[in-house]
Structure 1
Amino acid sequence: MKLDSQIVGNAGLYFTCYHLSLLGWNAMPTARNARGIDIVAYSRDGKRYLGIQVKSLSKQAPVPLGASIENLMGDFWVIINKLSSEPTAFILTPHEVKRLAHRGEKDGRVSFWLQPNSYETDEFREAWDRIGRGDGAA
């Protein structure tokens, strides 16, 4: 089934909120299509806050990062691919996204991408534990 890109984005956002909630975080999406992080999550005791960036893809594909990777936002990046068939999440830090980013140039314009072979690793695959728990449980 072919999904509209906005629907794919929404599904990935709520898929991520669901998983964060299972880890004990209070997770709330921010305003759609606004610059900045996609999800604010805070611990049950309100002492810890996280900003999460979500990139949702309907199939296995490179993740577009834009013209610059200097100011990547968020404490974690969640990349979800194959959203319309068998969603798989990959959890990275912004530092890891920068380190793994591929620089492309076409017609004099620079763009950065995260290639599937860079983020689809066992280190990142379904690694929700990298984020930690929001309810104080071990």
Structure 2
Amino acid sequence: MALDPQLTGNAGLYYTCYHLSLLGWNVMPTARNARGVDIIAYSQDATRKLAIQVKALSKRNPVPLGTSLEKVMGDFWVVVNKVTSSAPSAFIMLPTEVKELAHRGEKEGRVSFWLQPTSYDQESFEERWERIGHG
């Protein structure tokens, strides 16, 4: 099933919100397509807060990171691929890991950064929601 990119993004966002809620976090998606993080989460006692970036993909594709790694922000990154399947996969990463594993591409003088599937699709990241911890 093919989805519009906006709907793919929504599916990945709410899949992530669902998992965070199961961990006890109060989650609030931010304004869609706004610059910045996609989810603000806070613990039950409101003493801990997290900013989470979500990248959703319809299949196991590279994750576009833009023209600079300076935009890699937040406390955690969640890459959700195969969002249209009955079994999406989530990869929980730290922003430092995203930056370290980013691939730099150059085409016709333009630089872009990508997170290749072989970089994020690793056992150490796959479905590792415990990296985020309980809210």
TM > 0.5? yes
1:100-119 per-position Cα deviation (integer Å, ceiling 9, x unaligned): 00000001000000000001
Moved more, 20-29 or 65-74: 65-74
Q: Describe the SS at the equivalent of 2:14.
A: helix
Matches within 5 A, 1:1-138: 1-85=1-85, 86-134=87-135
> How far apart in 2 are the matches of 1:62 and 1:8?
15
Q: Distance between the aligned counterparts of 1:84 and 1:45, measured in 2?
A: 34
**What is the aligned residue count?**
134
Q: Give the letter aligned to residue 120 of structure 2.
A: Y
- Report the RMSD for the aligned CA atoms in angstroms: 0.6
Give secondary structure in 1 for the equivalent of 2:69. coil
Instruction: Give the counterpart letter for 1:8 in structure 2.
Output: T
Structure 1 residues without counterparts, runs of 5 or longer: none
**Residue 73 of structure 1: how far off its partner (Å):** 1.1
Q: Which structure 1 residue ranges, 4+ long, deviate > 4 Å from structure 2?
A: none
Measured after TM superposition, the shift of residue 70 of structure 1 is: 2.4
Q: State, as a whole percentage, how many aligned pairs show the same letter.
A: 70
Unaligned runs of 5+ in 2: none
Q: Distance in 2 between matches of 1:70 and 1:121?
A: 24
1:103 alignment partner AA: R
In structure 2, distance between residues paired with 1:103 and 1:4: 27
